[in-house]
Amino acid sequence: MTNFKENYKIDFDTEQEILQHFFASKNDPQYKVQTYQAMQNLIGLFKHFYPDVAIQDPIFREKSVKSGLFKLKELQIERFAKLYSLHLATNLDTNNFIQRITDRIHKCIPPPEQEHIIQSIQILLFSDLRTISIRNLANTLMSSHLSIDNRRALLRILYQRILDSNLSNISEELTYIEKNYGAIRAILQQKPENDILHYTSITKLKNRPDLIANLQDEKKFVRCHDLKGGTIVISHIPANFTTKNEPLKQLLKKREEATTPSSYKELDHQCMVLLSEEFANKLCQIKEYRNLCIIPDSLKHKNKSNGYEAYHMEFLLQNHPDYFLELQVKSKYIEEISRGNGSASHSKRFSKERVLPPMDTIQGFKNTLAYILPHYVEFQSCNGYAPYEFSMEENTLKYLFDILKDDHTATLKIHSFFKQLEEQEK
């Protein structure tokens, strides 16, 4: 298992440059100020379009160092799959991919399954397709605990290998993948998000020399666009809400006619989803607003099996193309299941579990928090949506809420540590 990775060791000079850019962005005060302003502009647009719709005080977050590094490595894996599908991958790219995907396997997959998945990666890259069961390989890769983005990358490599092969049943094998993991599955289930393969994005890429050039430049492509991002959570659409959106109008009518709390809740959520979609589409049509410029094709409707559903889009700031901002728009019901012990909580994913920092020394506690903690900001409606930055203690309590709500001793210990840190800084 180790030898496979060791055989493809590479020089990480390029990665170091990417990481330096990441840390420079995190520590850039102008990036903070301008993205706060951009988020306020987006909130202002929502309230302009829907003055009677209530929203929760929007939360803005900056990725932790841990999460940022995870994202950068995920992008390196995505990049290789696209290069491979375009027949542009070099030996260096292959070596880089092997390093990254084995790292992901070691960190994201429970130990008993790791060796089997690594063997599957070896088969995917180097075996003669005529000697293996392509369907078994696809099913193994897709059933792993790797992230959806990693599985998409692996599936695209397999799909491209089939396309390039001299198999006698190429069409049958491609159809199997499309029916189980691709466009045919999405069409049959009437859920576009079930197209894991999403090979049409590769097809479109072939006609975009500008995007291909960006892809070939690792330092340009591997950028953490969602390093900073905000969330608008819709909390109430009034019964007398006026709209030209006919499906939303009909759904609101059904909501008001609901006879049970559960049916009202479900219809209420669907109304908020439709309004989220409408707002996201309005932003895409605007394209540019003040200093904001939406990144083409960045709008995504995420609808996962764990119940999560929201619209995500990415923007850059026109006066500084290295400054990116992500926006999520969702219903209050999705926000509820995304927090704490909810079904869509990040902490439920293997490798993303929330773990208490070591509490044997203050310095060890502080160093760990510097690595794992995201930074939260709340745009408070009571103050004209001015940004309120959480203190390090408030960030800690929010991030570890799922653990601390049932551990009074740990909560007291954390309060004690922060008191000592405050005393040290006087």
Tens of pLDDT, residue by residue over 236-248, are 999 999 999 999 9
- Residue among 163, 166, 171, 188 at smallest CA distance from 85: 163
pTM of the model: 0.82
- Residue 196 DSSP class: S
Is 349 or 265 the better-scoring residue by pLDDT?
A: 265
- Residue 116 DSSP class: H
Q: Predicted confidence band at 340 (pLDDT cuts at 50, 70, 90)?
A: low
Q: Which helix (H) or strand (E) holds 406?
A: none
Give SS3 for 178: helix
Residue range 28-63+225-341 forms a domain whose CATH class is alpha beta
Q: Predicted confidence band at 351 (pLDDT cuts at 50, 70, 90)?
A: low
pLDDT(4) > 70: no
pLDDT at position 27: 87
pLDDT at position 295: 86
Tens of pLDDT, residue by residue over 174-227, are 999 999 999 999 899 888 778 899 999 999 999 899 889 989 998 888 887 888
- Residue among 102, 70, 96 at smallest CA distance from 84: 96
> Helices in 190-245 by DSSP H: which ranges?
200-205, 209-216, 218-221
Q: CB-hemisphere CA count at 13 Å for 294?
A: 19
* CA–CA gap between residue 134 and residue 13 (Å, rounded): 36
The share of the chain scoring above pLDDT 70, in percent, equals 93
Pseudo-torsion of CA 391, 394, 398, 401, nearest 10°?
150
The DSSP string of 77-114 is HHHHHHHHHTT---HHHHHHHHHHHHHHHHHHS-HHHH
The DSSP string of 5-60 is HHTT----HHHHHHHHHHHHHHT-HHHHHHHHHHHHHHHHHHHHH-TT-EEPPPEE
pLDDT at position 223: 80
Give the residue-averaged pLDDT of 105-133: 93
Average pLDDT of every residue of the chain: 89
pLDDT(338) > 90: no
pLDDT at position 344: 47
Tens of pLDDT, residue by residue over 161-175, are 999 999 999 999 999
Instruction: Find the range with the poorest average confidence among 213-227, 283-297, 350-364, 365-379.
Output: 350-364
What ranges do the domains of the chain cover?
28-63+225-341, 69-221, 354-379+390-426
- Residue among 423, 329, 320, 258 at smallest CA distance from 42: 329
Instruction: Find the range with the poorest average confidence among 246-260, 340-354, 396-410.
Output: 340-354
Give the residue-averaged pLDDT of 285-301: 85
Amino acid at 184: I
Q: Predicted confidence band at 260 (pLDDT cuts at 50, 70, 90)?
A: very high
Give the residue-averaged pLDDT of 355-359: 87
pLDDT at position 349: 53
Tens of pLDDT, residue by residue over 409-425, are 989 999 998 998 888 87
Report yes or no: 305 and 328 within 8 Å, Cβ to Cβ: no
pLDDT(408) > 80: yes
pLDDT(1) > 50: no
